[in-house]
Structure 1
Amino acid sequence: MIRLAAWLGLDSYDDLRAICAQAWRESGSIRYKKIDSRQPGIGKGNSAVTGVAHSLTAQMTSLGCAPSAEQLLAAASVLASARRRFCFGLQSSEMIACYFAEVMFRLDKHAAMVNLAPENEADATPGARAGDAMLVANFAPYSQATDKLARQMARRGVAIVAITDSETSPLHRTARSGIVVPTNAHSFFPSMTTAVAATEILATLTAQKMGTKAEEAAA
């Protein structure tokens, strides 16, 4: 391993180990990009900031590549063709659902948030039925209440569009169309940056497919 590190042009085996550790922390779709501290504006004081920014930039850029782009287009088609659109999420996922609902509401009141009361879960969306769609967000550690509501709506024939962090998540298996976004970052908490970016793209695509004149509606 020491000879391999030298052959790669690294100063020591510790450098090679650090690169491998960083790569494993990141999503499999994002490759490690070594930051050259000799670049202008990059030094010991702000290299950590630059590292996080580069990681998040790479994650958001991946949304434009397959299969993420295909997932976004498919989800937008489901939402655009629905009679009514509902949005739901709990805890940190709530802001994702709320953001989509707010953007669509500004266009022409095309989405509504679902407020789930623990004592009234079954009647959270009494009018939802086949022909409707629901955008649901859920990230690890997954909310069981969110997955339960998604399954209930799916049984009614409501098309579930999921924004989640893994194809193996319970919500993704329930969804008619799913968008998988990375939430890992250089921090101790999950990152919602890519999920927010995906939500903005999804709202834009949905509005386009609905033929909404966004500029006029926003004005």
Structure 2
Amino acid sequence: MDRMLDISGDLPKRLRQCADFVAANPDRIAVSTVAEMAEGAGVKPSAFMRFCQVLGFSGYSQMQRLFRENYSQNWPDYSTRLEKLRESGAGSPSALLAEFIEAGRHSLENLVKTIDPRTLDAAIKMLAEAQMVHIVGMRRAFSVAAYLAYAFEKMDVPTMLHDSVGKLDSRHAIRRGDAVIAITFAPYTHETVELADVARRAGAGVVAITDSLASPLRPVTPLLLTISEADFGDFRSLSATLSLAMALVVSVGTIRRA
């Protein structure tokens, strides 16, 4: 994946389509044929085979084996996670609390290593200068998005939360000079990525909060704030993400009131 990210900007159009599709759908490789992957990327199978070779693989099968190893380690569903906790005997509330506190501590320690200070400064500058800050985050990321909307309001920062309640489409409210905070973690939410791309095409700035440099938000914005959250029993903490959200809000609020 690192090799793909390093060369994606220099690839011809068709091969770049392959790279973008793989970055957005890494799990598809493990269970799809080369024809299916090519169709998803909007290219011919021969172009997808060339893409595999550019990455250094002998062909699609070799590339697929690598992704299948990662696929086997994917997050299980919630019923499986609970069953694993029961089997481990970690079920007492106090024991669970201690474990989640420890996972949160690890997440916070990792945050210092994964956030680039220059990217953080650039993101805060963009948000502070924006006419309106739009926020989008679905599923697991929704609690972070809701907190950001609440906290920015308290800082008197014009803010709009895009939550798709009632399937209302508010993308047309995004204007040039605005900024969007897009929050999504694997498996990435299509609606969040789509809104971020709409914002980019509308001339708005985009700040991404995500968990990997291979996130589908990478082609949308260079302002990628990556977070590695620790987990216990396959339940991931949000400690680091919320700490980053607080830092964004306070920093932006301080600049705007200066």
Q: In which range does the TM-score fall when normalised by the shorter chain?
A: 0.5 to 0.7
- The structure with the greater share of residues assigned to helix is 2
Pick from 208, 218, 227: which aligns with 1:181? 227
Pick from 8, 28, 53: which aligns with 2:101? 53
Cα distance in 2 for partners of 1:118, 1:152 equals: 20
The one-letter code sitting in structure 2 at the alignment partner of 1:171 is L
Contact 2:183 2:208 in 1 (8 A): yes
Q: Does 1:168 align with 2:168?
A: no
Q: Does 1:154 align with 2:186?
A: no
**1:142-189 deviation digits (Å, cap 9, x = unpaired):** 111211111111111111111100111001331241210112312322
- 1:87 aligned partner: 135
Pick from 168, 171, 181: which aligns with 1:135? 181
**1:64-123 deviation digits (Å, cap 9, x = unpaired):** 4574433332211111111111111111111111111100101214212113268654xx
The one-letter code sitting in structure 2 at the alignment partner of 1:178 is L
Residue 130 (structure 1) shift: 1.3
Runs of 5+ consecutive residues of structure 2 not aligned to the other structure:
1-72, 74-92
Change (3 A) 1:115 1:156: same
- 1:110 aligned partner: 158
The one-letter code sitting in structure 2 at the alignment partner of 1:105 is E
The one-letter code sitting in structure 2 at the alignment partner of 1:201 is A
The one-letter code sitting in structure 2 at the alignment partner of 1:92 is R
Pick from 210, 213, 218: which aligns with 2:256? 210
Residue 49 (structure 1) shift: 5.4
SS of the aligned residue for 1:100 comes to helix
Question: What CA RMSD, in Å, does the superposition of the two structures yield over aligned residues?
Answer: 2.6
| Number of positions where the alignment pairs a residue of Structure 1 with one of Structure 2 | 167
Q: Does 1:75 align with 2:129?
A: no
Change (3 A) 1:120 1:46: closer
**TM-score, length of structure 2 as denominator length:** 0.57
The one-letter code sitting in structure 1 at the alignment partner of 2:146 is C
Contact 1:167 1:173 in 2 (8 A): no
Identity %: 22
Cα distance in 1 for partners of 2:113, 2:173 equals: 37
Change (3 A) 1:172 1:209: farther
Runs of 5+ consecutive residues of structure 1 not aligned to the other structure:
1-24, 26-44, 213-219
The one-letter code sitting in structure 2 at the alignment partner of 1:141 is P
SS of the aligned residue for 1:99 comes to helix
